[in-house]
Amino acid sequence: MASSGSGYDLSSSTFSPDGRIFQIEYAAKAVENAGTALGLRCADGVVLAVEKPLVNRMLVARTTGGYTRSTSTRASRSRVSSATAGRSLTGRGRRRAITRRHHGTKIPPATLSSRISAYVHYFTLHGALRPFGASTLVAAYDTGTKRHSLHMIEPSGVCYEYYGAAAGRGRQPARTEMEKLVVNPSRVPEGGEMISVSEGVRQLAKIIHSLHDDAKDKPFELEMSWLCEGSGWKHEGVPREIIAGAVEWAKKEIENEGENDEEGDDDEDDEMEE
Amino acid sequence: MSHQYTADYDAYAGKSAETRHLKPGELSTGTTIMAVQFDGGVVLCADSRVSTGSYVANRASDKIAQLHDHIWCCRSGSAADTQALTDYVRHFLSQLAVETGRLPEVKVAAHLMRRLCYQNKDNLMAGVIVGGWDPVCGGTVYNIPVGGACIPMPFALGGSGSTYIYGLVDAEYRENMTKDEALALVRKAVAHAMARDGSSGGIIRTLVATEEGNVRDYVSGNMLPYGPAGW
Amino acid sequence: MSLSLQSGGAASRALAPPSTARAIADQGNQMTTRPITTGTSVLGMKYRGGVMLAADTLVSYGSLAKYKNARRLLSINSRTLIGAGGEYSDLQSIADLLRGNALNDRCTADSLYEEDNNEECAGEVWSYLRAVMYQRRNRMNPLWNDVVVAGFRQNPDGTTTDSPFLGVVDKIGTAYEDDVLATGFGAYIALPLMREKYRPDMEEGEARALLEDCLRILFYRDCRALNRVQIAKVTMDGGVLVSEPYELDTYWDFKGFVTNKGEMGTDGGW
């Protein structure tokens, strides 16, 4: 990595000959190496889940600071990676949301997200600035349209709306898992229905746990929050007992699947033989 | 210096109580303005007299100003101040509409107006009624009196002429009026105010703001439902 | 002429020195406006297990009873209430300020769980407001309100204590606490009545009845009062509750009221 830019990676104001800006890619790399963060837009709300690795076995759990924060009562965001970068960003988002509160209404989710994205993007344009090594998930409720949404802003400043979003180390397998869930309203199978937040909590807990290798990876805390009909469309932490229940269910499920997979493999073998 | 001060003060004291608060040559829309909510929209109404002291500077002015597609305001107080205020609110609202890609709420317009009025209260003479239609709250009326408070109400009165017609409007107003009932009420009320308030007069302008759009109308000064003459 | 500024409506510009040059020079350092849109008294009282505030919903414009449904009792967070008389636009900006602080606290809190975080308690809100009001008056630009703050004090660990808090801050930054408080006209008319009937162990119903009696009497004797009122309370475990505006019954059937006094041969009464 150190020499990969061969001199073209010293500033975010320099393009490499093949048209890349290495500083932004390095920032993205910082996110890719961080704990996983997931967001899921369900039928009745949005769930956020963050894997907070305990970087040192001697760290006291629950003192590492929240990765998920409220920007106003009806919007929240999770971040991945560089704690300082993330803090600076959430502060910015909060100030934006609060400015807007002075206009008498809540800032629309897409506007909040695009403001944050414009800010993040600005940091990729100047030689004197360093891009943010953080991705931001924005879960928000729109009081005007009565709709809820999930956005993600990446270090490059790109910002899209998602049904399910993932960032951090486990993002690829997590996306694959989330695609199996019914979160896209236009692709609800006949007779089926969209996933609810309470089911979303369990599924996200399962994904985070299944991606975690207890033997290899550092221990982690699971932080989950939601913004849903049940919470009065306010952003709040998922009650601890619900998280505990979800984790218990997830672990059992993972165990069962492990067994089934073995059986499944056998079946496949049988079929092969035929 | 002290001599000049005295001279100036004398010039100032020559003004009547009515015009003392105005800057030299400043116009004031000594006014009657009104807005009423109805199911699906609002009716705004204003007289058309602009005066300097007791001279009618404009007898057919338009005190109903558009802030956005479906949001309007009635102006009273200093003409210059209220024009500047509406220009600012118009500007911020259009910016906001472009940024959010949706129609702004009446509430937002009212809060912008309130902020400007409150933060500059020492230098402004403006009493404004903001009213209009938005997709979230429907027809909405906010009153922003001098000083910059901001109060949502089912109907609002403003301007010097309003004091003469509070009783009339209190007696005639009912909840859930139709558009036509609201229009009849504002015309009658403003005509009565114009008949008793020397600083209100001319024609009655009305505006109906609904989801479908805005409909303007006016009642000519010789076709008023009441007055100008009377008992 | 301008709109309607018969009483107390003129902005301070009317008071500014007449010379244009002087007026401009002085604009950075002006005396503030007189109050224009005003609310009247607020009453507050501790009772067993809570604090209660009461106020009417009238906002006057000089002597014109202009807004009859304006809320003057407001919650700041889940365990603090304020109530204010005086300039209504200033009350709105005080509420914006305190609620902004509360939101900021919520958003910068360490934990996602409300029970882990500690919101400002009433005592803290009151102290902060005192500083703000005092600073504003020293800048000769006061917030023209008397604000009553109600709620609970907190333990050093942030949990709510069982001792209720009731304090007031006035427009010049004077601040004090008491078991019974009243601002504005209420300080003259309601406070003696409240002191006479007050007991620290009053039940909620008793407290409410006493406050309603006081509001009724204020309606009789304060030209800027109304019989449409709101009651609000903060309780130990129930948090904040602000009632919707409702109307009080009034009594006019005293014998002396009914008897005519203007007939020939009488003294005419007064």
The per-residue DSSP string of C233-259 comes to: EEETTTEEEEPPPEEPP-----HHHHS
Nearest CA in chain B to A115: B99
Q: Which two tokens stand for residue B6?
A: 């005295």
- Side chain identity at residue B70, one-letter code: H
Question: Chain B: nearest CA to A162, how far in angstroms?
Answer: 19
Region C169-189: what's the mean pLDDT?
A: 95
**How high is the pLDDT of residue A75?**
59
The tens digit of pLDDT for each residue in A107-164 reads: 888 888 888 888 889 989 988 888 888 888 888 898 889 999 999 999 899 999 999 9
C107 vs A71, A102, A236: nearest CB:
A71
Catalytic residue set of B: 31
Tally of helices (H runs) and strands (E runs) in chain B: 5, 13
Question: Residue B91: enclosing H or E segment and its boundaries?
Answer: helix B79-100
Q: Specify the number of domains making up chain C.
A: 1
Q: Which two tokens stand for residue A169?
A: 């180390």
Which residue ranges form the domains of chain A, and what is each CATH number? 22-54+68-260 (3.60.20.10)
The tens digit of pLDDT for each residue in A11-38 reads: 888 899 999 999 999 988 888 888 888 9
* CB proximity B143 to C under 8 Å: yes
Q: What DSSP character marks residue B31?
A: -
* CB proximity A184 to B under 8 Å: no
Contact C81, C149 (CB under 8 A): yes
How do strand B71-78 and strand C175-177 relate by DSSP bridges?
Answer: unpaired
* CB proximity A39 to B under 8 Å: no
B 77-106 residues with CB below 8 A of C?
Answer: 77-78
Interchain CB distance below 8 Å, B112 and A103 = yes
**How high is the pLDDT of residue A67?**
65
Contact C85, C145 (CB under 8 A): yes
How many Cα atoms sit within 13 Å of B133 on the Cβ side? 18
Interchain CB distance below 8 Å, A94 and C108 = yes
Task: Name the nearest CA neighbour of B134 among B101, B154, B99, B108.
Answer: B108
* CB proximity C115 to A under 8 Å: no
Distance of CA B45 to the CA centre of its chain: 8
Residue C201: give its domain's CATH number: 3.60.20.10
Contact B186, B208 (CB under 8 A): no
Q: Lowest mean pLDDT of A60-64, A250-254, B128-132, C215-219, name the range.
A: A60-64
Interchain CB distance below 8 Å, A70 and C106 = yes
* Sign of torsion over alpha carbons A229, A104, C66, C175: positive
**Residue A268 pLDDT exceeds 50:** no
For the entire predicted model, the pTM comes to 0.84
Interchain CB distance below 8 Å, B124 and C33 = no
Question: Residue A235: enclosing H or E segment and its boundaries?
Answer: strand A235-237
The reply to whether ipTM tops 0.90 is no
Q: Look at the block and give the residue holding tokens 């800048």.
A: C139
The whole-chain average pLDDT of chain A stands at: 81
Domain span at residue C145 reads 44-249
Interchain CB distance below 8 Å, A66 and C112 = yes
Question: Chain A: nearest CA to B114, how far in angstroms?
Answer: 9
For residues B166-179, b (16+ Cβ closer than 10 Å) or e, as one string?
eeebeeeeeeebeb
* CB proximity B131 to C under 8 Å: no
CATH topology of domain B27-219: Glutamine Phosphoribosylpyrophosphate, subunit 1, domain 1 (3.60.20)
Q: Look at the block and give the residue holding tokens 């509420």.
A: C95
Nearest CA in chain B to A111: B100
**How high is the pLDDT of residue A71?**
58
Q: Residue A187 and residue A203: Cα distance in Å, rounded?
A: 18
Interchain CB distance below 8 Å, B107 and A104 = yes
| C216 occurs within a structural domain | yes
Nearby residues of C184 by Cβ (< 8 Å), 6 or more positions away: C40, C41, C42, C85, C86, C146, C222
Q: Look at the block and give the residue holding tokens 């109805």.
A: B38
Q: Look at the block and give the residue holding tokens 């919520």.
A: C106
Catalytic residue set of C: 32
**Residue C6 pLDDT exceeds 70:** no
The tens digit of pLDDT for each residue in C70-102 reads: 999 999 998 899 999 999 999 999 999 999 898
| C26 occurs within a structural domain | no
CB-count burial class (<10 Å; 0-12, 13-18, 19+) for C89: buried
Question: Chain C: nearest CA to A157, how far in angstroms?
Answer: 23
Q: Residue A264 and residue A268: Cα distance in Å, rounded?
A: 6
**Residues in chain A whose beta carbon is closer than 8 A to a beta carbon of chain C?**
65-66, 68-73, 94, 98, 101-102, 223, 225, 236-237, 240
Q: pLDDT-based confidence at C4, cuts 50/70/90? A: very low
Q: Which two tokens stand for residue A9?
A: 């990676």
Domain boundaries, chain B: 27-219
* CB proximity A144 to B under 8 Å: yes
Per-residue pLDDT of chain B (231 residues), as tens digits, is 334 333 344 344 444 444 555 666 666 667 999 999 998 999 999 999 998 888 888 899 999 999 999 999 999 999 899 999 999 999 999 999 999 999 999 999 999 999 999 999 989 999 999 999 999 999 999 999 999 999 999 999 999 999 999 999 999 999 999 999 999 999 999 999 999 998 899 999 999 999 999 999 999 999 999 978 888
| C264 occurs within a structural domain | no
Question: Chain B: nearest CA to C110, how far in angstroms?
Answer: 31
